[in-house]
Structure 1
């Protein structure tokens, strides 16, 4: 089957969260895709139906209409079934809030249902590196361990104005509570400790930081050439301490119970986790250069 035939023969899996959050964008995506391809549309109601629709795609190219969680779920299903390497996956990002598609945007998928759907039809598959941890869970974007309140930045309201308006009407307490929850969730032990984390970070067996040096944060990001970019930010008292950076195929973090974020989703607590790069392990359809 030619590449052209594959582009014109799609199975479109519409995540239930997308249908509830933004039905209009879902409809637009279907219309654009249907104008340029033969579609089989699947409307799963849960993760099991989502997985079945993906695995029963036959020769059709799968297109996920949904948020970052739906994209990660699709990659995870294909990885577990050992079908990831031979599948050209495509996504039309749809979510109720912009933060819900931050990962897809970071990977190069266009914003907006029309532009993303056209990229599915006219784009080209691009091989991307993948991180896989010691449980077999996949990471498409990054791993971050943040302490001292260094978790992901809070998401602004629409047009950046709703948060300020809420504070003017006496709702500042709500934002304070939400910030506190995020901060506690990002600290080791779910917030039981107060202060920098003490972690051992190893890159390809070489210790970058040991337990005697407290750290404020760690990040692991798939890079290129089969190597991940690793950055460790040691805690500084007085004079600043420069971040420790490395490139490695395997990264291990160990220490007292710590939480971490994978593609923005909170996980843990754990005492040890290893992430390994799988070079060019998956294919995502992106706009042509």
Structure 2
């Protein structure tokens, strides 16, 4: 038993006493030497990973837990594609895990951690010191996530569409200017531009394909090609908002005339204060932000 693992569990998420987590840890222990670190915030995470040594980090949790762990590894200076991260899905959404094809059952996911293959992944870093492992979205999506938090513990994944429905009745859009690789994107068919003259319902920058437990916000996004999929929606009217939300469930929103999809390495927005959601981490009243894609900045163990 030569492998050594540092298993990171988010104590704040309330999963440390979960039977499935205990089963996953037990299964890991049959194939490796396991140390469990139950942490409640970024400071505790950074303390835990600072002593990583030759152990492999393993995250038990959803996108938010993976986001926090990667941020801690990055700040501790130990995030590198040669140090693959194991992920055992245990969150509400698990969108990154779904994109990577990781088994949703925690015990089944143990096999990928013990015997899987490292897959290099892109990382999105912003100019405020944050990072994104799956998707960041600005506008109605962030409002929807904030609303969903009120119901998440009781309803699970059902909280996401409920939050979206509540946010969709109140959001009217924001006059955001967007630049992708230094240029304002223009809709090829309709001719409208994201130059601040059109209210934007949502701006999303994605390397993963889905958000909110499976909604295909960026259905053609790739996690490892060095580019982000950028989705801009100007569906701000009441009818348009409802139609956009309905189409998002199947990924058909990308074909709407009020949705622009492009790709790039650097994305910037500016405008009136708007809420932002990075992998479930919500930030309020952001007036501008720039994101840059770092290709193959880390790696995750996936089924061989």
Partner of residue 280 from structure 2, selected from 260, 264, 269 = 264
Q: 1:247 to 1:148 in 2, by over 3 A?
A: closer
Q: For structure 2, which runs of at least 5 residues remain unmatched after alignment?
A: 186-193, 208-221, 241-255
Counterpart in the other structure of 1:15: 10
CA distance in 2, matches of 1:271, 1:136: 15
Q: 1:57 to 1:114 in 2, by over 3 A?
A: same
Please, what TM-score do these two structures have when normalized by structure 2?
A: 0.73
Deviations 1:246-283 (A, max 9, x none): 21110001101111211133212111100100000111
Partner of residue 110 from structure 1, selected from 103, 108, 111 = 103
Query: Does residue 93 in structure 1 map to residue 86 in structure 2?
Result: no
Counterpart in the other structure of 1:243: 259
Counterpart in the other structure of 2:28: 33
Q: 1:19 to 1:146 in 2, by over 3 A?
A: closer
Three-state SS of the structure 2 residue aligned to 1:196 is: coil
Partner of residue 184 from structure 2, selected from 203, 207, 217 = 207
Please, what TM-score do these two structures have when normalized by structure 1?
A: 0.77
- The CA deviation at 1:242 is 4.1
Counterpart in the other structure of 2:112: 119
Query: Does residue 196 in structure 1 map to residue 177 in structure 2?
Result: no
Say which one has the larger Rg. Answer: 1
Three-state SS of the structure 2 residue aligned to 1:48 is: helix
Three-state SS of the structure 1 residue aligned to 2:138 is: strand
Q: How many residues align?
A: 259
- The CA deviation at 1:30 is 1.4
- The CA deviation at 1:22 is 4.9
- The CA deviation at 1:128 is 0.4
- The CA deviation at 1:146 is 3.2
Q: For structure 1, which runs of at least 5 residues remain unmatched after alignment?
A: 164-174
Counterpart in the other structure of 2:132: 139
